[in-house]
Chains A and B, each alone.
Chain A
Amino acid sequence: MTLKTRIIPCLDVAGGRVVKGVNFVDLIDAGDPVEAAMAYDAAGADELTFLDITASHEGRDTIFDVVARTAEHCFMPVTVGGGVKSIEDIRKLLLAGADKVAINSAAVNDPDFIARAADKFGNQCIVVSVDAKQRLSEAVGGDNRSEWEIFTHGGRKPTGIDAVEFAARMVERGAGELLVTSMDRDGTKSGFDLKLTRAIADDVEVPVIASGGVGTLQDLVDGVTEGHASAVLAASIFHFGTFTIPQAKRYMAEHGIAMRMDLSPEVK
């Protein structure tokens, strides 16, 4: 018996709709996040993440309805990230049916927010998003433990904060899991930033989800074997039907990674 490596499809949602749609299976409405979630549930996804990238304040409440409808149909863990800024935001998402929330800017702006959130809801549901990019100039050393720095606002805003140091600080404050995204690799399909993933995974006690850059099934394997991640998150390779969840699981299992196969009929 072993804890299995998780595959987590991530759906970008804006105004209650999947951004760019999902084309991997015959959905009645390719833009409905709940339909996509149900398809991933049936395919054996180990968890699901919704990233709410709604720009307008008015559209924000749509995510609660998406989460609530998903919880009616899917009996797998759901994480929601994007715009989580207050204890009240977290409470509303958990009540709607989310199992975990992913926090980014609010954690950077106020690290004690993570401590308050973990105290209130338990560290098992507090995921901190570590959005990191390679530094341009500053040397490593002193407060700069690593060659990566934290970015906010979807990778547009540098903070000068060292990524590995930040990750460790978030775990001390009560983060139960870290979602480590390479903003350099995101959308490039050139594979995870394995050095970044490993630097953080080897430094903290909590599980790390590798994110950003998946283009091939080997990238998923590398995230675990080289990056030491406990879970791998991917979006476009699944949404656009390049690979199915069962194909990914089979490939990872063939490469010696313990995977959960009991709900992947194509695999068994």
Chain B
Amino acid sequence: MSIVAIIDYGAGNLRSAAKAFERVASDLGQGHVIEVTADPERVLKADRVMLPGVGAFADCKAGLDAVPGMVEALDEKVIRGGAPVPGRLRRHAIAGKRRPRKGSDARPLLDPRSREKIKPNDPSLKIPHMGWNTITFTKPHALMDGIQDGPDGLHAYFVHSYHLATDRSDDLVATTNYGGDFTACVGRDNIFGTQFHPEKSQALGLKLIENFLGWTP
């Protein structure tokens, strides 16, 4: 049995994320248990951690800080303990800000300071970047197995006005294009982040979740 903890810190739409994970877990039939929890003790007992996120980074950070012991539990579990964690970019920045695991890169994977407003090179393009777009892998990653990229590939659902500028190219896993390329996925060690919403991305999202449930980074 393997436990997936979806962190509930009072913001965002957890139900969709939980339902998508439950659906994949049920299809796989490998005994994955999906738990939505605000309890740091449950997080410490989990095998995998999902940090969902919608909205502004400051709100997410404040929400996470407001749950007693949660930041410390994530630090212990994800940074030092190495449990796999996917999430959306802004929330990942929170995990990435903590002290990294010994021997790994000391820099945060997702630094809120590297957040930039999208500036499409075509002024007629609307902001937010809202809707379905394809992605392009910049390097292979286990969570992307079986997902077709490129212009004829599967689509991911994006809703955002900011993106994460990664200055370390080896953290970048996939980009999307909207009047210029920007980050769609980043990954380092046991941490993975997506700018798009896997739980709303139909085939692509369900495959990503399936890969995550079997991921042993």
Q: Is B73's CB within 8 Å of the partner chain A?
A: no
List, in ascending order, chain A residues with CB within 8 A of B161's CB: 123-124, 176
B155 near A71 (CB under 8 angstroms)?
no
With known contacts A97-B13, A231-B131, A260-B155, A3–B178 Cβ distance under 8 A: yes
* Cβ contact within 8 Å between A124 and B132: no
Contacts of B176 in A (CB 8 A): 1
Tell me if B201 counts as interface (CB < 8 A to partner A): yes
| Binary per-residue interface labels of chain B (94-119) against chain A in the complex, 1 for a CB within 8 Å, 0 otherwise | 00000000000000000000000000
Given contacts A75-B200, A97-B16, are A125 and B54 in contact (CB under 8 A)?
A: yes
Which of B38-46, B187-195, B202-210 is the contact stretch?
Answer: B202-210
* B19 and A1 form a contact (CB under 8 A): no
Cβ contact within 8 Å between B200 and A77? yes
The one of A4, A97, A121, A177 in contact with B15, judged by C-beta atoms closer than 8 angstroms, is A97
Q: Which of A207-234 contact B (CB under 8 A)?
A: 207-208, 230-231
One of A68, A77, A95, A206 near B157 (C-beta < 8 A): A77
User: Which of B12, B20, B127, B155 is in CB contact (< 8 Å) with A206?
Assistant: B127
Contacts of A17 in B (CB 8 A): none
Asked whether B20 lies within 8 Å of A4 as measured between CB atoms, the reply is no
> Hey, what's the 0/1 contact readout for B56-73 against A, CB within 8 Å counting as 1?
100100000000000000
Chain B CB within 8 A of A122 CB: yes
Which chain A residues (91-129) contact chain B, with CB distance < 8 Å?
94-99, 121-125
Is residue B159 within 8 Å, beta carbon to beta carbon, of the partner chain?
Answer: yes
Q: Give the docked Cα–Cα distance between A75 and B176 (Å).
A: 21
Contact A4 B136 (CB under 8 A): no
Contact of B154 among A6, A76, A123, A262 (CB under 8 A): A262
Main SS class of interface, A = loop
- B19, A4: Cβ atoms under 8 Å? no
Closest to B13 in A: A94
Contact in complex: B16, A1 (CB < 8 Å): no
Interchain CB contact under 8 A, A230 and B136: no
Q: Please tell me the number of chain B residues within 8 Å of chain A, measured between CB atoms.
A: 45
B residues near A231, Cβ cutoff 8 Å = 131
Taking the closest CB of chain B, its distance from the CB of A113, in whole angstroms, is 18
Is the Cβ of B130 less than 8 Å from the Cβ of A262?
no
Complex interface bits, B124-163 against A, C-beta within 8 A gives 1, otherwise 0:
0111111111111000000000000011011101111100
Q: Is the CB of B154 within 8 A of A124?
A: no
Measured between alpha carbons, how far is A128 from B122 in the docked complex, in Å?
25
**Which chain A residue lies CB-closest to B150?**
A1
**A56 contacts the other chain (CB 8 A):** no
Chain A residues whose CB sits within 8 angstroms of the CB of B160 once the complex forms? 124
- What residues on B are CB-neighbors of A76 within 8 Å? 157, 200, 202
B133 and A4 within 8 A (CB): yes
Q: Verify A75–B201 contact, CB threshold 8 A.
A: yes
- The answer to whether B216 has its CB under 8 Å from any CB of chain A is no
Chain A nearest CB, measured from B207 CB (Å):
11
CA distance A207 to B150 in the complex (A): 24
B16 lies within 8 A of A71 (CB): yes
A263 at the A/B interface (Cβ < 8 Å)?
Answer: yes
Q: A75-B20, A94-B13, A99-B16 are in contact. Are A230 and B130 (CB under 8 A)?
A: yes
Partner of B13, one of A1, A2, A95, A263: A95
Question: 15 A–B contact pairs at CB < 8 A?
Answer: A2-B178, A3-B129, A4-B155, A75-B16, A75-B19, A76-B200, A76-B202, A77-B159, A99-B13, A99-B16, A121-B55, A122-B59, A123-B128, A125-B55, A230-B130
